[in-house]
A = this chain, B = another copy of it.
């Protein structure tokens, strides 16, 4: 019996029903129903026998879902009603008691929180995995020099290990964000009822313990209106994907014939339908391309929540598709980053040659002057003049003559030539966090410890 006279319109059903996507929440729905039934019995709201019937019914529902034989009905608008309907068929009339002291509003918030918790854990672990691959690469390419770039112009040489480790620090921040997401999603909504609490003396702490939540939502209105934990997940995912997009973009760049710094394995590359010679870094391109998708999901959910009056509104149903696709996309991206990096190869000669460009030593020459008492700003000007002179004469810096040098500064002598010859530019970057080998080794230790 319902208060409605007419059945729902087919177009309304198509617009309104969520079962095509929320069926992925089934495992959480069953778990929370088990905990809810146990609590109802523990509090004497249903009998132990009724609880047992409910639990057996839920076991059967779970088996049917796992075996893909669950008899979905056309009238199932969402997974929650589908499971309750089926349970009532299996455990009639006791099945109808499961929804005592519960509403779909707190139920669905709980399912989503449980999904977010699992997704945060999965992201955490996958990030750790990619971090380990990067650390492995840093170790095996510890002393490979390459140009460091600012503005995509060669700036100062660094070790490839140092560059790769930069991504590990990004990933460590990402991982910390997912830990915070896990916390944010560990406050139990269940027990808030529709919005006001329920007419029964329930034990929400018991349910929280059973489901692994660390606390309960203290305000029933907030409990059913809140989707912060989804926003938190989406923001963490968008930031992580943005980091991966930078990695992807660099690999695309480095795979070009012009850079020639690295090559993806065949197993992570694509060909062309028309150009037989092509080997395309599709995996890296897609890694780059996925970040806006996650930002789009975040944005969309901000839009849904914007200006929404309390408490539950149907608009909140939009949370799920954004969340599910975001989790799938992020997890796939992390798996792709992992696999792609495991089989990437770098080309030492190309890296080394690019890193030996003498202009990369310009700062070092300026610092040589600084050590002789020239203020840095002035030293910078002197070297800029040398650079201009070299370019004008189509010379390298070491091809400038002592007379050329003398025109710019009285402080440039043989040590100038030695500096360009000895190429200790990298090893002079001795400051903490710098690219000298000893500092990179320290850093590796530190990153490895942090990742553990």
Which of B173, B231, B312, B338 is close to A151, meaning CB atoms less than 8 Å apart?
Answer: B312
Q: Say yes or no: A318-B302 contact (C-beta < 8 A), given A4-B271, A150-B313, A432-B216.
A: no
Which of B84, B184, B363, B432 is close to A275, meaning CB atoms less than 8 Å apart?
Answer: B363
One of A68-76, A112-120, A291-299, A398-406 at the interface: A291-299
Q: Is A28 interfacial (CB 8 A cutoff)? A: no
Q: What is the bound-complex CA distance between A246 and B383, given in angstroms?
A: 34
Which of B154, B257, B279, B317 is close to A4, meaning CB atoms less than 8 Å apart?
Answer: B279
Which of B102, B152, B272, B277 is close to A103, meaning CB atoms less than 8 Å apart?
Answer: B272
- Asked if A228 and B156 make an inter-chain contact with CB atoms under 8 angstroms apart, the answer reads no
Q: Most chain-B CB neighbours within 10 Å: which of A6, A152, A156?
A: A152
Which of B105, B289, B321, B365 is close to A150, meaning CB atoms less than 8 Å apart?
Answer: B105
- Asked if B166 and A225 make an inter-chain contact with CB atoms under 8 angstroms apart, the answer reads yes
Q: Is A265 interfacial (CB 8 A cutoff)? A: yes
- Asked if B97 and A376 make an inter-chain contact with CB atoms under 8 angstroms apart, the answer reads yes
Which of B2, B196, B305 is close to A271, meaning CB atoms less than 8 Å apart?
Answer: B2
A197: chain B residues within 8 A (beta carbon):
429-436, 439
A359: chain B residues within 8 A (beta carbon):
277
- Asked if B163 and A310 make an inter-chain contact with CB atoms under 8 angstroms apart, the answer reads yes
A:149-186 near B, CB below 8 Å: 149-158, 162-163, 165-166, 168-170, 173, 177, 180, 184
A57: chain B residues within 8 A (beta carbon):
none
- Distance of A128 from chain B, by nearest CB (Å): 17
Q: Say yes or no: A250-B309 contact (C-beta < 8 A), given A151-B282, A196-B156.
A: yes
A336: chain B residues within 8 A (beta carbon):
11-12, 15
Q: Is A307 interfacial (CB 8 A cutoff)? A: yes
- Asked if A293 and B265 make an inter-chain contact with CB atoms under 8 angstroms apart, the answer reads no
- Asked if A149 and B310 make an inter-chain contact with CB atoms under 8 angstroms apart, the answer reads yes
One of A59-67, A200-208, A410-418 at the interface: A200-208
A136: chain B residues within 8 A (beta carbon):
none
A contacts with B: majority SS? helix
A:113-160 near B, CB below 8 Å: 147-158
- Asked if A96 and B246 make an inter-chain contact with CB atoms under 8 angstroms apart, the answer reads no
Q: What is the bound-complex CA distance between A12 and B370, given in angstroms?
A: 32
Interface 1/0 per residue, A186-225 and B, CB below 8 Å = 0000011111111111101100000000001111111111
When C-beta atoms are compared, the residue in chain B nearest to A446 turns out to be B218
- Asked if A375 and B149 make an inter-chain contact with CB atoms under 8 angstroms apart, the answer reads no
- Asked if B169 and A14 make an inter-chain contact with CB atoms under 8 angstroms apart, the answer reads no
- Distance of A95 from chain B, by nearest CB (Å): 7
A282: chain B residues within 8 A (beta carbon):
12, 16, 151, 314
- Distance of A422 from chain B, by nearest CB (Å): 13
Q: What is the bound-complex CA distance between A293 and B216, given in angstroms?
A: 31
Q: What is the bound-complex CA distance between A432 and B104, given in angstroms?
A: 18
Interface 1/0 per residue, A92-108 and B, CB below 8 Å = 01111111111111010
- Asked if B315 and A285 make an inter-chain contact with CB atoms under 8 angstroms apart, the answer reads yes
- Asked if B7 and A267 make an inter-chain contact with CB atoms under 8 angstroms apart, the answer reads yes
Q: What is the bound-complex CA distance between A332 and B165, given in angstroms?
A: 38
A:421-451 near B, CB below 8 Å: 426, 428-436, 439, 443, 446-447
Q: Is A348 interfacial (CB 8 A cutoff)? A: no
- Distance of A379 from chain B, by nearest CB (Å): 8
- Asked if A15 and B335 make an inter-chain contact with CB atoms under 8 angstroms apart, the answer reads yes
Q: Is A308 interfacial (CB 8 A cutoff)? A: yes
A277: chain B residues within 8 A (beta carbon):
3, 359-360, 362, 383-384, 387
Q: 4 closest pairs, A vs B, by CB?
A: A197-B434, A292-B303, A96-B375, A296-B300
> 9 extra interchain contacts, Cβ-Cβ under 8 A, other than A103-B274, A150-B311, A231-B239?
A12-B283, A93-B375, A154-B256, A158-B195, A170-B226, A177-B232, A256-B258, A277-B359, A303-B303
